[in-house]
Amino acid sequence: MKMTLLMVCLLFPLYAGAVDKYDNKFCKDPVELQKWDNMLAENPDSDIVAALHAMWIGLCVKVEAHNLTTERANKIFEDFRWGIIESIKAQKEKPEKEAT
């Protein structure tokens, strides 16, 4: 059940696109911060959620420091997120394949 909830959370983009080259408003958006708080509260022992959150924070810092553009930070986050989704899918399929 928790894995399904985690998959649903991961399927929704967490880092919004921006018009400005170094726009970090999303990082300080109370709605987004609350989403992270909720996700962390619902999955306190999840290394996946902790890793995603740490990456999100780090990317926000890099955009704020103008070390990464918002577009590049979005791409890095989305690539990482989709990698996790694919990994979870593979783990879910593995027991099914072993059972046959």
Say yes or no to pLDDT of 18 above 50.
no
Domain segments of the chain as ranges: 2-99
- Give the DSSP letter string of 2-21: HHHHHHHHHHS--S---SST
At residue 97, the pLDDT reads 62
Does pLDDT of 29 surpass 60?
yes
Instruction: Taking the CA atoms of 62, 63, 65 and 69 in sequence, report the sign of the dihedral they define.
Output: positive
The mean pLDDT value of the chain amounts to: 83
Q: DSSP labels for 40-52?
A: HHH-TT-HHHHHH
Q: Is the pTM of this model over 0.95?
A: no
13/4 Cα distance (integer angstroms)? 16
- For residues 93 and 3, the answer to whether their CB atoms sit within 8 Å is no
Nearest to 22 by CA among 52, 60, 55, 58: 60
pLDDT bracket for residue 14 (50, 70, 90): very low
